[in-house]
């Protein structure tokens, strides 16, 4: 990285310091690639628990990416392991169907040399943010500009980023990690297709009377899936889970206004009594649910990653993990090019990145969209078909292995 006070030269500039963009910046910098990361928001407020109420289900492959980036060891709070997954179908105020699908680690069919301790780990958004912020500012190969307004000009030879009140940054590649409403994607005139589900996810934490045994539950209901995700205990709360509760928009607005006692009762009507009494912890958040996919993942000197390239229904908890798979694929290509003395922003490299990632992302979008449409209804015949399908997969080891490895991020080979 070269700087003379007015101009700066770097190899890659990442626009957007969310979890995906910041992880890519850390991974490149720790691998010796000169990198700049730019975000219009200041980074410290992102560490506050009120900034983002989500807890992320970090798949096994995503953990390896975070470890390679040097971020995982810096997590200030212990991640909660997920060692079992139970998928069931049901109706409000009724017991879950006796036909269900259950996964444990043995179903992954991994050789002893690859055995992992969990499918994934639950990490609170603020915990991941604190680790990322600490690592971003500790890297000698990484320049951080936040808050900063930036204008990007791209040519076939290089890109120039003008920071308001700061330097001009010359780089070989700009990475758009600026979210679903990506300005860089719009400026590149990359078309996007969107899907509105007419649903809202209610997100928060809940204390419960009985232990979760590190098992995640995905309970399908006519209005959408209700997910209970095991968290590590906190002082005064020995049994804690994150909740991602999908409802139709109008009902979600009503539920958000309930007091904690009524809210807990509504949760139990959907989740059942296997965890005993429930008590909401902290704030609740709500997020409108939609999906999108960019028709291309690149333009001259530009690559899209994470939400700038794709967004899916949270029905399988894979959205952020797809972003981390983007990070792993793009970083591998960039690092290999830099170490080999090649152009990390060359059209052939960007085409290769798109080939590696677009099919996997489109597959997951199709699967989550189909699952939501299949399960988010109360049609009697469809209910019977999907219950028999869950029970059938539960009894076929090869199918269970396929589903488990996909959920862990191991089916792509990007570790």
pLDDT tens for 95-104 read 877 767 777 7
Q: Where are the alpha helices (DSSP H) in 137-230?
A: 183-187
Q: What is the pLDDT of residue 413?
A: 39
Cα–Cα distance for residue pair 325/173, rounded to 1 Å: 19
Q: How big is the CA angle at 277 (ends 314 and 240), to the nearest 5 degrees?
A: 50
pTM for this model (two decimals): 0.91
Tell me: pLDDT of 414 over 50: no
What is the assigned CATH class of domain 2-79+123-193+291-376? alpha beta
Give whichever of 86-90, 219-223, 262-266, 406-410 has the largest mean pLDDT: 262-266
Query: Quick one: how many helices (H) and strands (E) in the chain?
Result: 10, 22
Contacts of 118 (CB under 8 A, 6+ apart): 60, 81, 82, 83, 105, 214
DSSP one-letter code for 231: E
Tens of pLDDT, residue by residue over 277-298, are: 999 998 999 999 999 999 999 9
Cα–Cα distance for residue pair 243/55, rounded to 1 Å: 9
Report yes or no: 6 and 168 within 8 Å, Cβ to Cβ: yes
Tell me: pLDDT of 113 over 50: no
Q: What is the pLDDT of residue 398?
A: 61
For residue 131, give the nearest of 66, 179, 205 by alpha carbon.
66
Cα–Cα distance for residue pair 74/132, rounded to 1 Å: 8
Tens of pLDDT, residue by residue over 234-257, are: 999 999 999 999 999 999 999 999
Handedness of CA 69, 133, 181, 307 (dihedral sign): positive
Report yes or no: 287 and 252 within 8 Å, Cβ to Cβ: no
Cα–Cα distance for residue pair 377/224, rounded to 1 Å: 8
Report yes or no: 391 and 100 within 8 Å, Cβ to Cβ: yes
248 membership: H or E segment, kind and range: strand 240-248
Compute how many other C-beta atoms are within 10 angstroms of the C-beta atom of residue 45.
11
Q: What is the pLDDT of residue 389?
A: 66
Give the confidence band of 415 by pLDDT, cuts at 50, 70, 90. Answer: very low
Cα–Cα distance for residue pair 214/84, rounded to 1 Å: 6
Name which of 29-38, 183-192, 252-261, 374-383 the model is least confident about: 374-383
Report yes or no: 228 and 271 within 8 Å, Cβ to Cβ: yes
Q: What is the pLDDT of residue 53?
A: 73
Tell me: pLDDT of 4 over 70: no
- Domain locations in the chain as residue ranges: 2-79+123-193+291-376
């Amino acid at each position: 990285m070269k700087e003379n006070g007015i101009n700066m030269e770097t190899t890659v500039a990442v626009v957007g310091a969310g979890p995906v963009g910041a992880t890519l910046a850390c991974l490149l910098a720790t691998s010796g690639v000169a990198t700049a990361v730019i975000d219009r928001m200041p980074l410290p407020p992102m560490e506050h628990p009120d900034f983002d109420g989500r807890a992320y289900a970090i798949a096994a492959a995503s953990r390896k990416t975070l470890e390679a980036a040097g971020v995982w060891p810096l997590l200030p709070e212990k991640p909660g392991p997920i060692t079992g997954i139970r998928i069931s179908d049901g109706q409000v105020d009724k017991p879950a169907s006796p036909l269900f699908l259950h996964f444990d680690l043995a179903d992954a069919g991994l050789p002893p040399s690859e055995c992992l301790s969990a499918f994934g780990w639950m990490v609170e958004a603020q915990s991941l943010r604190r680790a990322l912020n600490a690592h971003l500012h500790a890297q000698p190969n990484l320049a951080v500009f936040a808050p900063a307004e930036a204008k990007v000009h791209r040519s076939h030879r290089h890109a120039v980023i003008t920071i308001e009140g700061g330097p001009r940054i010359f780089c070989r590649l700009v990475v758009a990690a600026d979210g679903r409403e990506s300005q860089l994607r719009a400026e590149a005139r990359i078309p996007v297709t969107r899907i509105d589900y007419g649903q809202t996810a209610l997100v928060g934490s809940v204390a419960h009377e009985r232990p979760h045994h590190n098992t995640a539950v995905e309970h399908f209901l006519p209005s959408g899936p209700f997910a209970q995700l095991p968290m590590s205990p906190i002082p005064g709360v020995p049994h804690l889970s994150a909740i991602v509760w999908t409802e139709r928009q109008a009902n979600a607005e009503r539920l958000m206004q309930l007091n904690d006692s009524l809210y807990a009762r509504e949760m139990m009507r959907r989740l059942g009594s296997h965890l005993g009494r429930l008590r909401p912890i902290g704030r609740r958040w709500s997020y409108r649910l939609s999906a999108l996919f960019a028709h291309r993942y690149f333009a001259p000197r530009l690559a899209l990653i994470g939400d700038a390239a794709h967004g899916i229904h949270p029905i399988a908890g894979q959205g952020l993990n797809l972003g981390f798979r983007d990070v792993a694929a793009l970083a591998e290509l960039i690092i290999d090019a830099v170490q080999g003395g090649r152009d990390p922003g060359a059209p052939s490299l960007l085409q290769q990145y798109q080939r590696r990632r677009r099919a996997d992302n489109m597959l997951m979008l199709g699967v989550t969209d189909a699952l939501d449409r299949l399960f988010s209804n109360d049609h009697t015949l469809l209910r019977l078909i999907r219950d028999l399908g869950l029970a059938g997969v539960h009894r076929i080891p090869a199918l269970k292995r396929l589903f488990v490895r996909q959920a862990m991020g191991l089916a792509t080979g990007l570790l």
